[in-house]
Amino acid sequence: MTAIDSALSMADSARTRFLDELKAFLRIPSVSTESRYAAEVRRCAEFVAADLQRMGMERVAILPTAGHPCVYAEWLGAPGRPTVLVYGHYDVQPVDPENLWTSPPFEPTERDGYLYARGASDDKGQVHAHLKAAEAYLASSGRLPINLKFIIEGEEEIGSEHLPALIRAERTRLQADVVVISDGAMFARGLPAICYGLRGLAYWQIDLVGPRSDLHSGVYGGAVANPIEVLAHLLAALKDDRGRIQVPGFYDDVREISAEERARIARLPFDEEAFRRELGVAELFGEEGYSTLERRWVRPTLEINGIVGGFTGEGSKTVLPSRAAAKLSSRLVPDQDPERIGDLVEAYLRRLCPPTVSLTFTRLAAAQPVVTPLDHPAVRAAERALEHGFGRSPVYIREGGTIPVVATFAAELGIPSVLVGFGLNDDHLHAPDERFLLENYFGGIRTLIWLWAELGGLA
């Protein structure tokens, strides 16, 4: 029996235990954006480190940052063979509105072949597939076919603020030939994909203050500017009714995609009507002149992520509020820069904001967009590994989401990333009832066993 067969066989026989361990991982509420969960985030890092230690990885360490820590581990027993750096994140999004979850977000529950929990797909389930693929080799052969390094962070959901500094400080230890990341989706159930492009992110909060305290809307109404009304005017001015962003200069640095790439995207088996039904809307909406996939992958956005002001409880309160706030963010495409886009949005809002209210503009997160070259040998290896793992050739896709670290690896370590996601697009990421298809979890483990063999020249 080859090392591949031994590892595949070990992984197959350990399915029940692997799944139990994944559930334990998901039970830890590692919500990185809420300070009350800080101890749980730490406990989650310790969980990952302990598992890496137990399976035989070396130099396992919890690396402190100015925020939540990173988990590092390596196995360098294959001299002359390539070195792969696996990146993932153990932190998760908040769970609100919690009342919309069918089962509790931190009590992993199996239904219809899916595992439901916050972080099931984004990204604990996919990180766990990597841990278990390595364990399958180490437990069956005592070695891996390549040199392997793990860096699993705890701040991806809040913009990976402290990771770039850590990568700079640890550039020697982290050096590798390629980064492999599983923090995304296949094209469809049964159709694996290799992702070569990610959008960047710039996230802001705007706060408007009008009168110094809340006022009676009868006594004062009509005679003083209402901050919610001003906010509505500012937000409405961000986009026209055909979905075109109105911030001057916003599109200046957008690299238009080639006719070849547009044609390749158009050939993908994407069912727009099924997508519309899945979202439960009467009509889709987006920037005029682009297809739905183009709107999601290759065009920038400007979304309002949250808004609050005045009375929002039960019944009617006739208040003229003192303040209103909104959270906004842009998904960016090459060659847009999050800082420059922030400057443009802030300048536009300040120009539109009347003197009747005061405006505060706060920058909360930023990440560069990235496109990965398709001719790297690791990309071809991933294509063959996915054929083995899922029985079907992958398509090449881009993704609308953001993995800020991909740009950092390119800039700091000079290495490309190969993105092999095992999620699905309807995994309810960042939303109630997040889930992970169990056949993708196990298919992911098989794929990664093949990928390390392909990269090691053994397959």
List active site positions: 91, 156
Give the nearer residue to a second copy in terms of CB position, either 385 or 424. 424
Which residues from 129-188 bind a second copy, rule CB under 8 A? Answer: 158-159, 185
Q: Which stretch binds a second copy (CB under 8 A): 6-14, 130-138, 304-312, 404-412?
A: 304-312
Exposure pattern of 256-287 as b/e (b: 16+ CB <10 Å)? ebeeebbeebeeeebeeeebeeeeeeeeeeeb
Residues whose CB is less than 8 angstroms from the CB of residue 94 and which lie 6 or more positions away in sequence, other chains included: 31, 33, 34
Output the DSSP codes for 16-54: HHHHHHHHHHHTS--BTT-GGGHHHHHHHHHHHHHHHHH
Which residues from 336-355 bind a second copy, rule CB under 8 A? Answer: 354-355
Phi (first) and psi of residue 253, to 5 degrees: -100, 10
Tell me the sheet residues that pair with 204: 328, 363
Which residues from 5-24 bind a second copy, rule CB under 8 A? Answer: none
Give the nearer residue to a second copy in terms of CB position, either 77 or 211. 211
Q: How far is the CB of 367 from a second copy (least distance, A)?
A: 10
Give the nearer residue to a second copy in terms of CB position, either 280 or 373. 280
Size of the site for a second copy (CB under 8 A): 104
Q: How far is the CB of 148 from a second copy (least distance, A)?
A: 28
Q: Which stretch binds a second copy (CB under 8 A): 132-140, 298-306, 371-379, 411-419?
A: 298-306
Which residues from 406-425 bind a second copy, rule CB under 8 A? Answer: 425
Give the nearer residue to a second copy in terms of CB position, either 306 or 457. 306
Which residues from 353-392 bind a second copy, rule CB under 8 A? Answer: 354-358, 364-365
HSE-up of residue 408 (Cα within 13 Å, Cβ side): 22
Q: Which of 329, 372, 408, 417 binds a second copy (CB under 8 A)?
A: 329
Q: Which of 112, 260, 273, 314 binds a second copy (CB under 8 A)?
A: 314
Residues whose CB is less than 8 angstroms from the CB of residue 231 and which lie 6 or more positions away in sequence, other chains included: 206, 208, 307, 309, 324, 325, 326
Q: How far is the CB of 228 from a second copy (least distance, A)?
A: 4
Closest CA to 123 of 145, 97, 146, 156: 156
Give the nearer residue to a second copy in terms of CB position, either 104 or 211. 211
Which residues from 201-220 bind a second copy, rule CB under 8 A? Answer: 201, 203, 205, 210-220
Which residues from 221-280 bind a second copy, rule CB under 8 A? Answer: 221-226, 228-229, 231-233, 235-239, 241, 243, 275, 279-280
Phi (first) and psi of residue 346, to 5 degrees: -60, -45
Q: How far is the CB of 115 from a second copy (least distance, A)?
A: 18
Give the nearer residue to a second copy in terms of CB position, either 299 or 388. 299
Give the nearer residue to a second copy in terms of CB position, either 32 or 147. 32
Q: How far apart are the first and last CA of the chain?
A: 13
Classified as helix, coil or strand, 74 is: strand
Verify binding: residue 431, a second copy, rule CB under 8 A.
yes
Q: Which stretch binds a second copy (CB under 8 A): 18-26, 128-136, 322-330, 385-393?
A: 322-330
Alpha carbon distance 25, 19 (integer Å): 10
Q: How far is the CB of 412 from a second copy (least distance, A)?
A: 23
Verify binding: residue 400, a second copy, rule CB under 8 A.
yes
Phi (first) and psi of residue 179, to 5 degrees: -100, 135
Which residues from 96-125 bind a second copy, rule CB under 8 A? Answer: 96-97, 100, 122
Give the nearer residue to a second copy in terms of CB position, either 6 or 205. 205
Which residues from 42-81 bind a second copy, rule CB under 8 A? Answer: none
59-68: which pairs have CB atoms within 8 A and are 24 or more residues apart? Answer: 63/166, 63/170, 65/155, 65/162, 65/163, 65/165, 65/166, 66/161, 66/162, 66/165, 67/32, 67/154, 67/155, 67/158, 67/161, 67/162, 68/32, 68/38, 68/41, 68/42, 68/153, 68/154, 68/155, 68/162
Residue 365 near residue 202, CB atoms below 8 Å: yes
Q: Which of 143, 303, 339, 411 binds a second copy (CB under 8 A)?
A: 303
